[in-house]
Structure 1
Amino acid sequence: MDFQIALLLGQDGLTNGAIYALLALALVLVFAVTRVIFIPQGEFVAYGALTLATLQAGKLPATLWLIVALGAAVAALDGAQALRHGGARKLPRILALNLAVPLALWLALANLDLAGLPLAAQVLLALAVVVPLGPMIYRLAYQPIAEAPVLILLIVSVAVHVVLIGLGLLFFGAEGTRTPAFSEGTLELGATTLQYQTLWILAASVVLIVALYAFFGRSLYGKALRATALNRTGARLMGISTTMAGKLSFTLAALIGAFSGILISPITTLYYDSGFLIGLKGFVGAIIGGLASYPVAAAGALLVGFLESYSSFYASAFKEVIVFTLIIPVLLWRSLTTHHAEEDE
Structure 2
Amino acid sequence: MNLQIAMLLGQDGITNGAIYALLALSILLVFTVTRILLIPQGEFVTYGALAMAAIQTGQPTALVWLVLALTLVDCLMDLYGAVRASHGFRFPKWVPIKLGYAGLLVLLITQLPLASLPMAMQALLTLALVVPLGPQIYRLFFQPVAGAHPLVLLIVSIAVHVAMVGFALLVFGPEGARTEPFSEAGLTLGPVTLNSQTLWVIAVSLGLIIGLFLFFERSLYGKALRATAVNRMGARLMGISPVLAGKATFALAALIGALSGILIAPLTTLYFDSGFIISLKGFVGAIIGGLASYPVAALGALAVGLIEAFSMFWASTYKEIIVFTLIIPFLLWRSLTSRHVEEDD
TM normalised by structure 1 equals: 0.97
User: 1:18, 1:201 within 8 Å by CA — same for their partners in 2?
Assistant: yes
CA distance in 2, matches of 1:173, 1:111: 23
Aligned identity (percent) is 62
Alignment partner, residue 251 of structure 2: 251
CA distance in 1, matches of 2:91, 2:305: 47
1:37 aligns with 2:40: no
1:90 aligns with 2:91: yes
Q: Deviations over 1:83-113 (max 9, x none)?
A: 111554333x232233221112111222211
CA distance in 2, matches of 1:274, 1:297: 22
Alignment partner, residue 284 of structure 2: 284
Structure 1 counterpart of 2:269, which letter? T
Structure 2 counterpart of 1:186, which letter? G
Secondary structure at 1:305's aligned position in 2?
Answer: helix
CA distance in 1, matches of 2:343, 2:171: 40
Alignment partner, residue 311 of structure 2: 311
What root-mean-square deviation, in Å, do the aligned CA atoms of Structure 1 and Structure 2 show?
1.3
Q: Deviations over 1:151-191 (max 9, x none)?
A: 11000011000000000000000000000000113221123
CA distance in 1, matches of 2:27, 2:126: 21
CA distance in 1, matches of 2:263, 2:49: 8
CA distance in 1, matches of 2:324, 2:2: 27
- Per mean C-alpha deviation after superposition, the further-off stretch among 208-217 and 256-265 is 208-217
Structure 1 ranges of 4+ moved more than 6 A: none
CA distance in 2, matches of 1:237, 1:220: 16
CA distance in 1, matches of 2:26, 2:130: 16
- Per mean C-alpha deviation after superposition, the further-off stretch among 187-196 and 32-41 is 187-196
Structure 2 counterpart of 1:147, which letter? G
CA distance in 2, matches of 1:100, 1:344: 44
Q: Deviations over 1:238-279 (max 9, x none)?
A: 110011100000000000000000000000000001111000
Shift of 1:137: 0.2
CA distance in 2, matches of 1:118, 1:219: 35
Alignment partner, residue 186 of structure 1: 186
CA distance in 1, matches of 2:98, 2:290: 35
Structure 1 counterpart of 2:24, which letter? A
Alignment partner, residue 22 of structure 1: 22
Alignment partner, residue 207 of structure 1: 207
1:2 aligns with 2:2: yes
CA distance in 2, matches of 1:267, 1:303: 20
CA distance in 1, matches of 2:219, 2:329: 37
Alignment of 1:84-233 (within 5 A): 84-85=84-85, 86=87, 88-91=89-92, 93-217=93-217, 219-233=219-233
Alignment partner, residue 67 of structure 1: 67
User: 1:24, 1:301 within 8 Å by CA — same for their partners in 2?
Assistant: yes
User: 1:48, 1:257 within 8 Å by CA — same for their partners in 2?
Assistant: yes
User: 1:49, 1:262 within 8 Å by CA — same for their partners in 2?
Assistant: yes
CA distance in 2, matches of 1:304, 1:4: 21
Shift of 1:319: 0.1
Shift of 1:58: 1.0
User: 1:79, 1:94 within 8 Å by CA — same for their partners in 2?
Assistant: no
Structure 2 counterpart of 1:73, which letter? V
- Per mean C-alpha deviation after superposition, the further-off stretch among 283-292 and 233-242 is 233-242
Shift of 1:27: 0.3
Structure 2 counterpart of 1:22, which letter? L
Shift of 1:219: 4.6
CA distance in 2, matches of 1:45, 1:230: 29
CA distance in 1, matches of 2:302, 2:233: 34
User: 1:17, 1:304 within 8 Å by CA — same for their partners in 2?
Assistant: yes
TM normalised by structure 2 equals: 0.97
Q: Deviations over 1:314-334 (max 9, x none)?
A: 000000000000011111111
Where does the alignment leave 5 or more consecutive residues of structure 2 unmatched? none
CA distance in 2, matches of 1:87, 1:323: 55
Aligned residues between the structures = 344
